Amino acid sequence: MAKKGSPATADSSGTKLIAQNRRARHDYEIIDTFEAGIALLGTEVKALREGKASLGEGYARLDRGEAFLYSVHIGHCAGGNRFNHDPERARKLLLHRWELQRLIGSTEEKGLTLIPLRLYFRRGRAKVEVGVARGKRHFDRRHDIAKRDADRAVERALANQRRDAD
């Protein structure tokens, strides 16, 4: 997994992960996901290849039938000059018309939002995985934590039982 400021890392499928929003799955219930291209400037692509991106505060919004990505930080590349890009500018998401129609329909529901989950290169093109999400309430998070703890306890008990049987 790529950390902030480290170069992108490749996985077995040929996809190079640049950045990941780990808090999204903790704070939101992900209902559906979409893969979208991003309209980038040259210096932004260079910065992404160096791994200088952060999705932490990012979100997507639909404006006039188009999708835009906001508050995603793409830092300056090492070989930049005075014509560098604005690190937090709005970036257009490249989606098919039917995907946009589906997103418009799903975000009109109350409480749903678009959150960037992962930023990566696939076949040399920058892509972002966008999730249609509903914010979790505090008791939902507590329920998830309790379930995770119970699963760990079961795994521990099974491991101890297997070890004792050997």
Q: How far is CA 106 from CA 30, 31, 98, in A?
A: 12, 10, 12
Would you call 107 exposed, middle or buried from its count of C-beta atoms within 10 A (0-12, 13-18, 19+)? middle
- The CATH code that applies to domain 9-135 is 2.40.280.10
Q: What is the DSSP letter of 109?
A: S
For residue range 106-129, what is the model confidence (pLDDT) as tens digits? 888 777 889 999 999 998 899 999
Radius of gyration of the chain (CA): 19
Evaluate whether 83 touches 105 at the Cβ level (below 8 Å): no
Q: Does the global pTM surpass 0.75?
A: no
pLDDT digits (tens, 9 = 90+) for 64-88: 889 999 998 888 877 767 677 778 8
3-state secondary structure (DSSP) of residue 127: strand
151: DSSP letter: H
Q: Which residues face 61 on adjacent strands?
A: 68
Asked whether the beta carbons of 73 and 53 are under 8 A apart, the reply is yes
Q: What is the pLDDT of residues 8-37, one digit of tens each?
A: 556 656 788 998 988 888 888 888 899 999
Q: How many CB atoms within 10 Å of residue 124?
A: 7
Question: What are the distances in angstroms from CA 144 to CA 14, 20, 111, 113, 162?
Answer: 32, 20, 20, 21, 27
Domain boundaries, the chain: 9-135, 137-166
In this predicted structure, the answer to whether residue 1 has a pLDDT above a threshold of 50 is no
Dist CA 18 CA 50 (whole Å): 9
Paired tokens of 83 = 């014509």
